[in-house]
Amino acid sequence: MKNKNTFSSLKKVLSYVSHRKTLLVLSLLCAAVSVVLTLYIPIVIGDAIDCIIEPGRVDFDAIAPLLLRAAVAAALAALAQWLQGVINNKITYGVVRDIRNDAFSRLQSLPVSYSDTHAHGDIVSRIITDADQFSDGLLMGFSQLFTGVLTILGTLGFMFVINWKIALFVVLATPLSLFAASFIASRTHSLFKAQAEIRGDQTAYINEIIGNEKIVRAYGHEDEAIETFEDMNRRFEKCSLRAVFFSSLVNPTTRVVNSVVYAGVALLGALAVIADPTLFTVGSLSIFLSYANQYTKPFNEISGVATEFQNSLACAIRLFELIEAEPQTPDAPDALVLENAKGEIGIENISFSYDPDIPLIRDFSLRVPGGKRIAIVGPTGCGKSTFIGLLMRFYDVDCGKITADGTDIRDMTRASLRRSYGMVLQDTWIKTATVRENIVMGKPDATDEEIVAAAKASHAHSFIRRLPKGYDTPISEDSGLSQGQKQLLCITRVMLALPPMLILDEATSSIDTRTEMKIQNAFARMMKGRTSFIVAHRLSTIREADTILVMRDGQIVESGTHRELLKQNGFYAELYNSQFKG
């Protein structure tokens, strides 16, 4: 299975590389020029050596142009190597850019359940760290693999021309080096894969601790956090040491084998010179020794490439797991685009659960006329937020159907459905941009007057005006805004876009009571004529709703107006009275 995954990942990498065929051909040409010139230099040097017959008998007139020719060949070879490096960089980082883009694009098309079931830090580690590790191995492969293979083929050809018997010895000894390299490299793959997985776990854990640092310190959890991280670090250290140890055996092992080959060539060549100096000269021996050294050198480099490539492929497998994760069901080609929604929502016998063995919402039915305000209350875990997620089609129902204006929402595009809703959640999200850019997310063509009017309606204008650059102040999640200020900006987004349907999920939970009262008045004006779903724990905020749905264990157990539900003296009355007891 491991070999199958490795081969499959290698094919996928090559498919990305194939998009750059022109650069690939240029890289091969540069490698060929570099190798040919590098192999030509020993021939020139060998001829120069043969011009040195004995003391007092040196043909300097012949040596000078030979040395000049060698210098020119060396300069051209260096230029070809430099160009090859530039081209290989363009290929490598272009491939990594495409893979990263595909991974991030797939992330946007995955169902919400994917991010619910995968650690966010691990996903970040795949796209950033694993891609970096992969690029290192890919660059090494392009830089050394082409040149190495061409050098091996070139030196073999020249050696067979000069003396086929000694060349045959070199060829017969080659499998020893290849076997040593492949034997060790094959055993490092699983270690590098485990290393990448532990690195992903570390990233996820660091992300978790940093994001909840105040909670960690409030509960005195620092020592436990350090202990957990140290345990991860110990496992990472152990795995990394084993991977590096085994991979580091490749180079010295192949060098030992190659040194034996070199010594054998020197011995056989010296005997050939002694046997018949006219057929095999000292210059020929120097050429052969140079070729033998150049022939064995690529095996050391290729063995290093093979080891690094094992690490790269382990990272590539994790990247392709993300890229090939099952995307959400695509919109049908003939899917309806919801425009000018009236806000008539129908829920017919829907059932849904995150885990098939743990039922959540069962046989849930509801009819909401356009323009009505529907409040949803109930204890934690009863399915309120899940119901909102189903309305927005973050999840699809297991059975039954949800309709908008009489059409099953699965038969309309997700984008048009979600554009028809304005959503303010308890969890805020501020992107790294200016205040203005954060506000206009739902209406990019809004005028300055519209933006200011929306900010005034949400009571965000006063604090925005006090920022260093007002509406043009750059902000982010960590820019120092309070949770309440962030939530005011999220409310401003909705008040600017004014979609036909609204979802307010604990929208004022982080706002002080005085400001909340003002915002509730603004919400009341905004909700007029718009279908609104209001999830609230503070029951005082939903007394004016047209209908209050009381949920318990995924079911609607009561429904009616605030007064009607209090008269029933049921579960709603119990919840309400518990908040105002005394």
What secondary structure, in 3-state letters, does 105-156 show? Answer: HHHHHCCHHHHHHCCHHHHHHHHHHHHHHHHHHHHHHHHHHHHHHHHHHHHH
Residues 349 and 280 in one domain: no
More confident residue, 228 or 282: 228
Going by pLDDT thresholds of 50, 70 and 90, the confidence category of residue 219 is low
CB-count exposure of residue 282 (10 Å: 0-12, 13-18, 19+): middle
Residue 330 lies in a domain: no
Residues 316 and 354 in one domain: no
What is the C-alpha separation between 149 and 144, in angstroms, rounded? 8
Q: Work out how many domains the chain is built from and give that number.
A: 2
Among 323, 358, 381, where does a domain finish? Answer: 323
Give the pair of three-digit tokens for residue 234: 């110990």
Q: Which pLDDT tens digit goes with each residue over 174-207?
A: 777 667 666 666 667 677 778 878 887 888 788 7
* pTM: predicted TM-score of the whole model, two decimal places: 0.67
Residues 272 and 372 in one domain: no
Residues 212 and 357 in one domain: no
Q: Write out the residue range of the structural domain in which residue 176 sits.
A: 2-323
The yes-or-no verdict on residue 161 having pLDDT over 60 is yes
Q: Which pLDDT tens digit goes with each residue over 251-281?
A: 677 777 777 777 887 788 788 778 777 677 7
Cα(first)–Cα(last) distance of the chain, in Å? 66
The yes-or-no verdict on residue 9 having pLDDT over 80 is no
Cα dihedral value 418, 432, 489, 437, nearest 10: -70
pLDDT for res 75: 93
Residue 177 lies in a domain: yes
Residues 141 and 244 in one domain: yes
Among 323, 356, 376, where does a domain finish? Answer: 323
Q: Which pLDDT tens digit goes with each residue over 320-343?
A: 888 888 888 888 888 888 888 888
279 contact partners, CB below 8 Å, separation of at least 6: 272
Residues 288 and 182 in one domain: yes
**CATH number for 355:** 3.40.50.300
378: which DSSP letter?
-
The whole-number average pLDDT for the span 302-322 is 76
pLDDT for res 209: 81
| 445: amino acid identity, one letter | D
Residue 260 lies in a domain: yes
Residues 570 and 478 in one domain: yes
What is the C-alpha separation between 353 and 438, in angstroms, rounded? 34
Residue 339 lies in a domain: no
Residue 332 lies in a domain: no
Residues 317 and 432 in one domain: no
Residues 262 and 158 in one domain: yes
**CATH number for 199:** 1.20.1560.10
pLDDT for res 79: 94
9-13, 20-24, 178-182, 279-283: lowest mean pLDDT where?
178-182
Residue 46 lies in a domain: yes
The yes-or-no verdict on residue 104 having pLDDT over 70 is yes
Residue 336 lies in a domain: no
Beta strands per DSSP E along 415-459: 421-424, 433-434
pLDDT for res 1: 46
pLDDT for res 365: 84
Q: Which pLDDT tens digit goes with each residue over 42-67?
A: 888 877 877 776 565 667 777 888 88
The whole-number average pLDDT for the span 18-29 is 86
pLDDT for res 302: 67
CB-count exposure of residue 265 (10 Å: 0-12, 13-18, 19+): buried
pLDDT for res 207: 78
Chain-wide mean pLDDT for the chain? 81
Residues 387 and 252 in one domain: no
Residue 123 lies in a domain: yes
Residues 187 and 313 in one domain: yes
pLDDT for res 290: 81
The yes-or-no verdict on residue 388 having pLDDT over 80 is yes
Distances in whole angstroms, Cα of residue 373 to Cα of each of 527, 559, 568:
7, 13, 21
The whole-number average pLDDT for the span 16-35 is 86
pLDDT for res 403: 92
Residues 319 and 439 in one domain: no
